[in-house]
């Protein structure tokens, strides 16, 4: 719920603002915990909540969450009282959303609740997986190691996502650059040249006529083409929320050359990292896999993880379940099987994660070498068509002069 709050801060200054809390009691408790006096705490009508929620939506990056986990790890390791350390973190942090989160965690700890309970409210930032691991760490007395592993895990996952996005940047910009170059020629350069040919009353070859007609079509309907383009993007974006269309789209991606490798390598590394940390932290395997399923975006891989969970529940080993879905690379199947046979599953999963992480990294760095030939062919064909359409009439003009 969103509330309009008026309070008297510790310096005696009245301040008014909007903030979100689960209920009035939580809002009042939070205000009093920071040393302020609540003057008015009034819930906002639901009709206005969606508009205010846009401005109150927390701006918290995963890097910040990783940093918080690392700080909590150092606090536990050094033996500093966690309450004192959190108060220092609140003073040092400039992000108002993080300040609020830390203050709320501090209040929950003051009530005598566990650290995992304090993070439960913010599991959409820390993820269910990390909160579950921290709970296991508290129960086994390995909270320090769990926090360290959790931070490293999130860092690896975010690095994988960054590499994947970086790999897609070059092809996208290169393709846009070629489209813009083509449009400049079709909409500005070519029309002037063709107008010149018409004024000279030159007989135009078939190719030139075709290019001229296409150029005129682009000039006359460019605005409508742009509108249709954005409508298509909007329809696709909305349709991706439909499960059937999303499944069709994700299957199409897995059949798209080059991109499919990125998706397969990314999900293979993603699977390995999740299962490795699940095994090393003592979290029940099925619980870790269920969390993996919830966080997998590609529906094809999401359904594959669901099938793996079902097969393991039937009594199959991880390697057998992975092999049964026929989606992950053969290398991954073999490495997991070796890990199960030799009792080194955690180590094998780590090797799988590192292997596919390096594959994504290599492809991201060398994607230009793969994309450039295709882009050059497209550009060469376009230039060849344009040049032939121009040289034909020029040749006719030269023949006349002679």
Please check whether residue 375 is in contact with residue 174, taking contact to mean a CB–CB distance below 8 angstroms: yes
Q: What is the rounded distance in angstroms from the CA atom of residue 358 to the CA atom of residue 265?
A: 10
Q: Hey, what CATH class is 157-402 in?
A: mainly alpha
What pLDDT does 75 receive? 84
**Averaged pLDDT for residues 211-225:** 81
| Ranges of each domain in the chain | 2-56, 62-156, 157-402
Q: Do domains 62-156 and 157-402 have the same CATH topology?
A: yes
Nearest to 187 by CA among 234, 222, 157, 231: 222
pLDDT digits (tens, 9 = 90+) for 137-188: 887 777 788 888 888 888 887 887 777 677 677 777 777 887 887 788 777 7
DSSP label of 203: P
**Residue the block writes with tokens 């439960």:** 120
pLDDT digits (tens, 9 = 90+) for 7-61: 777 777 777 766 777 777 777 777 776 667 777 777 777 666 665 555 556 667 7
What pLDDT does 335 receive? 92
CB atoms within 10 A of CB 42: 10
CB burial of residue 279 (10 Å; 0-12, 13-18, 19+):
middle
pLDDT digits (tens, 9 = 90+) for 132-151: 888 888 877 777 888 888 88
**195 — pLDDT class (breaks 50, 70, 90):** confident
Sequence-separated (6 or more) residues with CB below 8 Å from residue 103:
30, 33, 34, 90
**Averaged pLDDT for residues 218-233:** 85
CB burial of residue 220 (10 Å; 0-12, 13-18, 19+):
exposed
Please check whether residue 38 is in contact with residue 4, taking contact to mean a CB–CB distance below 8 angstroms: no
Whether pLDDT at 389 is above 90: no
**70 — pLDDT class (breaks 50, 70, 90):** confident
pLDDT digits (tens, 9 = 90+) for 242-256: 888 888 888 988 888
What pLDDT does 97 receive? 78
**Averaged pLDDT for residues 204-230:** 81
Say what percent of the chain tops pLDDT 70.
88
> pTM above the 0.85 mark?
no
Q: Pick the residue with more confidence: 228 or 207?
A: 228
**402 — pLDDT class (breaks 50, 70, 90):** low
**Averaged pLDDT for residues 255-269:** 85
Rounded to 5, what percent of the chain is helix, strand, coil?
80, 5, 15
pLDDT digits (tens, 9 = 90+) for 75-111: 888 887 887 888 888 877 777 778 888 888 888 888 8
The mean pLDDT of the chain is 80
**Averaged pLDDT for residues 106-117:** 83
What pLDDT does 57 receive? 61
The token pair at 284 is 């029940």
What pLDDT does 55 receive? 56
**Residue the block writes with tokens 């690392």:** 70
**368 — pLDDT class (breaks 50, 70, 90):** low
Q: In what order do the strands lie in the sheet with 14-20?
A: 14-20, 2-8, 37-43
- Domain 62-156 is classified in which CATH homologous superfamily? Type II secretion system (T2SS), domain F (1.20.81.30)
Whether pLDDT at 308 is above 90: yes
Q: What is the rounded distance in angstroms from the CA atom of residue 277 to the CA atom of residue 123?
A: 17
What pLDDT does 287 receive? 83
pLDDT digits (tens, 9 = 90+) for 338-367: 999 998 988 999 899 889 888 887 877 777
Q: What is the rounded distance in angstroms from the CA atom of residue 19 to the CA atom of residue 97?
A: 10
What pLDDT does 114 receive? 85
User: Angle 198-201-205 (CA atoms, 0-180°, nearest 5)?
Assistant: 75
**Residue the block writes with tokens 């344009």:** 386
């Amino acid at each position: 719920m969103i509330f309009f709050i008026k309070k008297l801060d510790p310096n005696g200054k009245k301040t008014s603002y909007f903030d979100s809390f689960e209920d009035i009691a939580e809002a009042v408790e939070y205000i009093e915990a920071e040393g302020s006096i609540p003057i008015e705490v009034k819930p906002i009508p639901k009709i206005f909540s969606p508009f205010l929620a846009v401005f109150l939506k927390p701006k918290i990056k995963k890097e910040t969450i990783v940093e918080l986990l690392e700080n909590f790890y150092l606090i536990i390791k050094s033996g500093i009282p966690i309450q004192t350390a959190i108060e220092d973190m609140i003073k040092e942090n400039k992000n108002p959303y993080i300040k609020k989160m830390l203050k709320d965690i501090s209040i929950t700890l003051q009530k005598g609740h566990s650290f995992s309970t304090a993070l439960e409210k913010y599991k959409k930032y820390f993820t269910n997986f990390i909160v579950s691991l921290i709970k296991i760490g508290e129960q086994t007395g390995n909270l320090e190691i769990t926090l360290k592993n959790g931070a490293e895990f999130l860092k690896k996952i975010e690095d994988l996502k960054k590499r994947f996005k970086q790999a897609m940047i070059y092809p996208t910009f290169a393709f846009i650059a070629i489209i813009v170059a083509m449009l400049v020629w079709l909409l500005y350069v070519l029309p002037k040249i063709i107008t010149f040919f018409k004024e000279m009353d030159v007989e135009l070859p078939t190719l030139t006529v075709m290019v001229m007609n296409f150029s005129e079509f682009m000039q006359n309907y460019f605005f409508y083409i742009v509108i249709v383009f954005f409508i298509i993007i909007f329809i696709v974006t909305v349709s991706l929320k439909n499960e059937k269309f999303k499944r069709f789209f994700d299957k199409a991606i897995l059949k798209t050359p080059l991109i499919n490798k990125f998706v397969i390598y990314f999900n293979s590394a993603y699977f390995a990292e999740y299962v490795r940390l699940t095994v090393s932290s003592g979290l029940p395997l099925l619980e870790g896999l269920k969390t993996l399923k919830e966080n997998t975006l590609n529906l094809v891989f999401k359904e594959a993880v669901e099938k793996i969970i079902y097969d393991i529940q039937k009594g199959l080993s991880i390697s057998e379940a992975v092999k049964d879905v026929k989606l992950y690379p053969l290398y991954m199947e073999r490495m997991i099987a070796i890990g199960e046979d030799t009792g080194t599953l955690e180590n094998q999963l780590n090797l799988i994660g590192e292997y596919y992480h390096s594959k994504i990294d290599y492809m991201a760095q060398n994607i230009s070498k793969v994309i450039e030939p295709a882009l050059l062919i497209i550009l060469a064909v376009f230039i060849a068509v344009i040049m032939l359409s121009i040289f034909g009439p020029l040749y006719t003009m030269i023949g006349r002069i002679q």
